[in-house]
């Protein structure tokens, strides 16, 4: 199923780009939005196949299930990594504010 394969490739590319971008970069928000759209489109295509499953769709659905599991694992890992980056960024900002206030009191 060619449209599904293209969507899977696009999802993979967006996730790779997200892994490489710093959390505070504005492009990351747009990529997350694009990822959400792609996942929604993928779900619609899978729903079409599931609406009237045929025996020959069995291998396709099994492969898509494994890919979905892989995407889920990758997304959870990406989410945790981005949360850690944001936490570190907030901590650094707090430290910077403390140093600024100390410098202002001199």
Task: Return d(Cα 32, Cα 7) in angstroms, integer.
Answer: 15
Q: What is the pLDDT of residue 35?
A: 92
Read out DSSP for the chain?
A: -HHHHHHHHHHHHHHHHHHHS-TT-HHHHHHHHHHHHHHHHHHHHHHHHHHS--GGGHHHHHHHHHHHHHHHHHHHHHHHHHHHHHHHHHHHHHHHHHHHHHHHT-
* Non-local CB neighbours of 32 within 8 Å, separated by 6+ positions: 18
Q: What is the mean pLDDT of the chain?
A: 85
Q: What is the pLDDT of residue 11?
A: 95
Cβ 39 vs Cβ 29: under 8 Å: no
14-64 pLDDT, tens per residue? 999 988 887 667 788 888 899 999 999 999 999 988 888 888 888 889 999
Q: What is the pLDDT of residue 7?
A: 94
Task: Return d(Cα 68, Cα 89) in angstroms, integer.
Answer: 31
pTM of the model: 0.74
């Amino acid at each position: 199923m060619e449209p599904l394969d293209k969507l899977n490739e696009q999802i993979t590319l967006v996730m790779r780009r997200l892994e490489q971008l710093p959390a505070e970069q504005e492009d990351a928000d747009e990529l997350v939005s694009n990822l959400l759209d792609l996942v929604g489109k993928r779900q619609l295509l899978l729903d079409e196949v599931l609406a009237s499953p045929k025996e020959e769709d069995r291998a396709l659905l099994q492969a898509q299930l494994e890919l979905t599991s892989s995407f889920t694992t990758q997304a959870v890992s990406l989410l945790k990594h981005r949360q850690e980056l944001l936490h570190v960024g907030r901590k650094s900002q707090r430290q910077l504010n403390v140093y600024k206030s100390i410098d202002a009191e001199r």
